[in-house]
């Protein structure tokens, strides 16, 4: 069964979810898996539509992952005709365009009912700051639960509406986000039971106060 | 007690003597966790009321290492993901790179890939059944029966690729070396003898009363939750959802082979166990067809420049039906020699999403059975 094209999906989603803004991100490679960029405000509603729409039924979120795009400047050299000393000359003029970096969450959606896919949706954060935020799709797709935790853990994207956002692969005391492109490995600090002097300074840098425990403390007796 | 009474599930336990919960940290050093996996469990008497899995004991940031390595350099490292099934890991990665760069694969190589992937499935499922019985207390003997068969298949892998478990056999655009006629003869013999082992094993375990009592009605999963939570592989099909990527995507040459997709009904541990046994029968069928049809020819696309390999700018997501579920690789190329983004979609990690839902209301002893029936390998879960 063939699926409708991304353009058709875009128009239908924009009609069904008022206010939603969707861009098609083309994929220049031979795989031709283009994707839909969804605005963060309506992401949950759009995902819900994609899941519940009878023609699409994208009920299976296979893969959710993060991508880090750094700030970049694109240099362009254009030949410009200018009059220098009363004589017309061709001069190379370089313009620099600055693109701010962002973090991206990519979801690969398939349909188990109609056996088609993938439809790839993306969301982008405003910037690469410490507390970059995105809406969570876990309420729509349960399979994103651990994968969004992983994105939070390794990329530092905070997912609003995630039921249980904690570090998953790294330990709780860890401070940085290792999958970011500008991540630098810390010095070769080793744990010492009684640190002192400069070792203590190093230890303080490595271990902030324990922000969250691993969930065991939330377990309480039920009445 | 007669047999029908024995087959009934035990009555729900309502013991709450002092009203206090006990917290138990199961693992990471526990033989039944299949590696270094930990669960924080809250118990009411013997009943699980809360369960939080804790990951990361084997984490080495595989994806970061993949981004700092060339495309070819990641191929041997994919062996270490799910170290039981290095052949299927290789295939999934090779398939994704082939999608990313638009590479054709010769016919013989595709057949070899199918043969090796199905052999991998046989040995993975066989050893899983052995492990599961170990978890249930049938310590040692069934596992050794399964490992005897696995050993034969590993010997085949060794004579083909030079390594028993870390095969590093496939390349984008084909396979590394060709399999000779004597290898094919040996493989045929092993495949022909495999149903004998299967029948014996099934007779011993699948109708065993204790196995039935330990697994039926334990860890039930509904089809709706399974789909929503992204279950794949035997986990999903045990709930009765007909979704096999070999059929849906038709990658490789799977559309050329006749095989059925076994489906479960109840989604409990017994169905998941049964799923593996039935899939092994189908795999034997695929193997026999593939070994008969395999043509002569090259096993490597000569146009592919494996060294200094630079795929065009773009991205691709390729997936295969691994023995544990959907194994996918998501690659973004910026035109350089290293992938800009290298992501593994690990089936056993995502299949653990529902672990808490499966275990609630069961006893501690059942947790081990349920975890065993999910079929995880920590090299892949923690990456």
Contacts of B343 in chain A (CB under 8 A): 63, 65
Least confident of A60-64, A205-209, B28-32: A205-209
Considering CB atoms only, which of A28, A62, A112 is closest to B313? A28
Considering CB atoms only, which of B56, B101, B383 is closest to A30? B101
Q: How far apart are CA B32 and CA B210, in angstroms?
A: 18
φ/ψ of A190, rounded to 5, equals -120, 145
- Pick the closest to residue B325 from B374, B266, B382, B268 (CA basis): B374
* Architecture of the domain delimited by B62-382: Orthogonal Bundle (1.10)
Q: Are the C-beta atoms of residues A147 and A159 closer than 8 Å to each other?
A: no
Sheet holding A22-25, edge to edge: A22-25, A35-38, A119-124, A102-110, A60-69
pLDDT at A1 over 90: no
Nearest chain A Cα distance for residue B315, angstroms? 6
Q: What pLDDT sits at residue B115?
A: 92
CB contact under 8 A, A169 and B350: no
Contacts of A6 (CB under 8 A, 6+ apart): A24, A34, A36, A119
Least confident of A71-80, B40-49, B225-234: A71-80
The dihedral built from the CA positions of residue B159, B160, B161 and B166, taken in this order, carries a sign that is negative
Q: How far apart are CA A171 and CA B68, in angstroms?
A: 23
ipTM of the complex: 0.85
Contacts of A197 (CB under 8 A, 6+ apart): none
- Per residue in B92-131, pLDDT (tens digit) is 999 999 989 888 899 999 999 999 999 999 999 998 888 8
Tokens of B348: 């056993």
Q: Are the C-beta atoms of residues B166 and B83 closer than 8 Å to each other?
A: yes
Percent over 90 (pLDDT), chain A:
10
φ/ψ of B286, rounded to 5, equals -60, -45
Q: How would you classify residue B14: left for phi > 0, otherwise alpha for psi between -120 and 50, otherwise beta? A: alpha
Q: Domain A6-213: state its class.
A: alpha beta
Task: Write out the residues of chain A at the interface with chain B, using a CB-CB cutoff of 8 A.
Answer: 27-31, 33, 59-63, 65, 67, 106, 108, 112, 115, 118, 120, 141-147, 154, 168-171, 178-179, 214-216, 219-222
Considering CB atoms only, which of B99, B311, B328 is closest to A63? B328
Considering CB atoms only, which of B54, B225, B350 is closest to A147? B350
Counting one residue from chain A and one from chain B, the pairs whose CB atoms sit within 8 A come to 130
CB contact under 8 A, A169 and B42: no
- Per residue in A48-62, pLDDT (tens digit) is 888 888 888 888 999
Residue of A nearest to B329 (CA): A63
Nearest chain A Cα distance for residue B136, angstroms? 27
Considering CB atoms only, which of A61, A178, A221 is closest to B61? A178
How far, in Å, are A83, A123, A127, A223, B366 from residue B363 at the CA level?
87, 41, 47, 20, 5
Contacts of B63 in chain A (CB under 8 A): 154, 179
In DSSP notation, B117-178 reads: HHHHHHHHHHHHHHHHHHHTT--SHHHHHHHHHHHHHHHHHHHHHS-SS----EETTEESSP
Q: How far apart are CA B245 and CA B232, in angstroms?
A: 9
CB contact under 8 A, B243 and A216: no
Q: How far apart are CA A144 and CA B103, in angstroms?
A: 31
Q: What pLDDT sits at residue B18?
A: 59
Q: What pLDDT sits at residue A223?
A: 46
Considering CB atoms only, which of B20, B100, B343 is closest to A31? B100
Which of A3, A26, A29, A216 is the best substitution to test chain B (most B C-beta atoms within 10 A)? Answer: A29
Nearest chain B Cα distance for residue A76, angstroms? 19
Strand partners, B322: B325
Considering CB atoms only, which of A145, A170, A221 is closest to B59? A170
- Per residue in B243-259, pLDDT (tens digit) is 999 988 888 888 989 99
Count Cα atoms within 13 angstroms, Cβ side, for B210.
10
- DSSP state, B9? P
How far, in Å, are A202, A206, B129, B229, B235 from residue A199 at the CA level?
5, 11, 50, 45, 49
Nearest chain A Cα distance for residue B31, angstroms? 21
Which of A103, A219, A223 is the best substitution to test chain B (most B C-beta atoms within 10 A)? Answer: A219
Mean pLDDT of chain A: 81
Q: Are the C-beta atoms of residues A63 and B328 closer than 8 Å to each other?
A: yes
Nearest chain A Cα distance for residue B274, angstroms? 22
Least confident of A24-28, B258-262, B270-274, B342-346: A24-28
- Pick the closest to residue B181 from B71, B76, B291, B107 (CA basis): B291
Contacts of B330 in chain A (CB under 8 A): 63, 65, 106, 108
- Pick the closest to residue B28 from B61, B62, B60, B53 (CA basis): B53
Q: How far apart are CA B303 and CA B103, in angstroms?
A: 9
pLDDT at B12 over 60: no
Q: What pLDDT sits at residue A118?
A: 87
Q: What pLDDT sits at residue B21?
A: 81
Buried b (16+ CB within 10 A) or exposed e, A72-81: eeeeeeeeee
Contacts of B225 in chain A (CB under 8 A): 142
- Per residue in B186-210, pLDDT (tens digit) is 999 999 999 998 888 888 888 888 8
The residue to which tokens 């109840």 are assigned: B266
Q: Where are the domains of chain B?
A: 62-382
How deeply is B105 buried, as exposed, middle or buried, from its count of CB atoms within 10 A (0-12, 13-18, 19+)?
Answer: buried
The residue to which tokens 């365009």 are assigned: A97
CB contact under 8 A, A115 and B243: yes
Task: Give the strand pairing for A119-124 and A102-110.
Answer: antiparallel
φ/ψ of B280, rounded to 5, equals -65, -40
Q: Are the C-beta atoms of residues A66 and A103 closer than 8 Å to each other?
A: yes
Tokens of B328: 């996918």
- Pick the closest to residue A114 from A60, A63, A61, A34 (CA basis): A60
Nearest chain B Cα distance for residue A15, angstroms? 25
CA torsion B65-B66-B71-B77 (nearest 10°) is: 80
In this prediction, residues B293-310 reach a mean pLDDT of 85
Question: Is some CB atom of chain A closer than 8 A to the CB atom of B246?
Answer: no
Question: Is some CB atom of chain A closer than 8 A to the CB atom of B343?
Answer: yes
Question: Is some CB atom of chain A closer than 8 A to the CB atom of B55?
Answer: yes
pLDDT at B381 over 80: yes
Nearest chain B Cα distance for residue A82, angstroms? 36
State the pLDDT confidence band at A2, using cuts at 50, 70 and 90.
Answer: low
Sheet holding B38-44, edge to edge: B22-26, B38-44, B47-54
In DSSP notation, B186-249 reads: HHHHHHHHHHHHHHHHHHHHTT-HHHHHHHTTSS---HHHHHHTT--THHHHTTT----HHHHT
Which of B230, B326, B383 is the best substitution to test chain A (most A C-beta atoms within 10 A)? Answer: B230
Contacts of B228 in chain A (CB under 8 A): 59, 141-143
Contacts of A63 in chain B (CB under 8 A): 317, 328, 330, 343, 345
- Per residue in B166-182, pLDDT (tens digit) is 988 998 888 988 888 89
- Pick the closest to residue B97 from B243, B305, B284, B295 (CA basis): B305
CB contact under 8 A, A143 and B228: yes
Q: How far apart are CA A136 and CA A158, in angstroms?
A: 8
């Amino acid at each position: 069964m063939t699926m409708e094209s991304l353009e058709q999906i875009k128009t239908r989603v924009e009609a069904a979810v008022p206010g939603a803004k969707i861009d098609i991100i083309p994929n220049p490679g031979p795989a031709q898996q283009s994707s839909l960029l969804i605005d963060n405000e309506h992401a949950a509603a759009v995902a819900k539509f994609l899941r519940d729409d009878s023609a699409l039924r994208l009920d299976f979120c296979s893969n959710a992952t993060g991508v880090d795009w750094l700030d970049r400047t694109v240099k362009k050299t254009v030949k410009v005709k200018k009059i220098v000393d009363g004589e017309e000359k061709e001069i190379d003029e370089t313009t620099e365009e600055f693109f701010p970096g962002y973090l991206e969450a990519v979801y690969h959606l398939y349909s188990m009912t109609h056996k088609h896919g993938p439809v790839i949706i993306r969301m982008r954060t405003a910037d690469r700051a410490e507390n970059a935020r995105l809406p969570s799709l876990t309420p729509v797709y349960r399979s994103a639960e651990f994968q969004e935790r992983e994105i939070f853990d390794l990329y530092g994207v905070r997912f609003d509406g995630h039921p249980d956002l904690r570090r998953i692969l790294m330990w709780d005391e860890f401070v940085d986000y290792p999958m970011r492109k500008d991540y630098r490995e810390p010095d070769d600090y080793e744990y010492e039971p009684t640190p002192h002097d400069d070792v203590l300074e190093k230890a303080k840098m490595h271990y902030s106060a324990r922000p969250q425990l691993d969930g065991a403390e939330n377990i309480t007796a039920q009445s | 007690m007669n047999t029908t009474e024995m087959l009934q599930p035990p009555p729900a336990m309502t013991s709450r003597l002092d009203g206090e919960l006990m917290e138990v940290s199961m693992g990471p050093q526990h033989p039944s966790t299949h590696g270094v996996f930990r669960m924080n469990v809250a118990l009411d008497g013997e009943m699980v009321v809360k369960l939080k899995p804790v990951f990361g004991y084997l984490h080495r940031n595989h994806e970061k290492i993949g981004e700092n390595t060339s495309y070819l350099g990641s191929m041997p490292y994919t062996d270490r993901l799910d170290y039981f099934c290095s052949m299927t890991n290789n295939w999934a990665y090779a398939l994704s790179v082939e999608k990313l760069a638009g590479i054709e694969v010769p016919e013989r190589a595709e057949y070899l890939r199918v043969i090796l992937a199905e052999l991998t499935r046989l040995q993975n499922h066989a050893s899983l059944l052995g492990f599961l019985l170990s978890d249930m207390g049938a310590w040692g003997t069934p596992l050794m029966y399964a490992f005897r068969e696995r050993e034969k298949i590993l010997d085949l892998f060794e004579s083909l690729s030079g390594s028993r478990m870390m095969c590093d056999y496939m390349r984008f655009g084909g396979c590394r070396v060709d399999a000779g006629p004597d290898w094919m003869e040996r493989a045929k013999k092993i495949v022909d003898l495999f149903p004998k082992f299967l029948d014996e094993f099934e007779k011993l375990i699948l109708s065993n009363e204790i196995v039935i009592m330990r697994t039926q009605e334990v860890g039930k999963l509904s089809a709706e939750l399974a789909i929503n939570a992204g279950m794949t592989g035997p986990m999903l099909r045990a709930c009765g959802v007909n979704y096999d990527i070999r059929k849906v995507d038709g990658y490789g040459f799977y559309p050329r082979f006749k095989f059925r997709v076994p489906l479960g009904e109840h989604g409990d541990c017994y169905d998941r166990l049964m799923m593996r046994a039935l899939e092994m029968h189908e795999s034997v069928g695929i193997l026999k067809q593939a070994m008969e049809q395999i043509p002569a020819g090259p096993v490597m696309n000569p146009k592919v420049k494996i060294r200094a390999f630079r795929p065009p700018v773009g991205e691709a997501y390729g997936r295969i039906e691994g023995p544990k579920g959907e194994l996918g690789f998501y690659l973004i190329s910026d035109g350089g020699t290293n992938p800009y983004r290298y992501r593994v979609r690990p089936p056993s990690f995502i299949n653990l999403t529902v672990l808490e839902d499966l275990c609630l209301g069961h006893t501690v002893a059942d947790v081990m059975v349920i975890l065993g029936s999910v079929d995880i390998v920590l090299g892949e879960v923690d990456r």
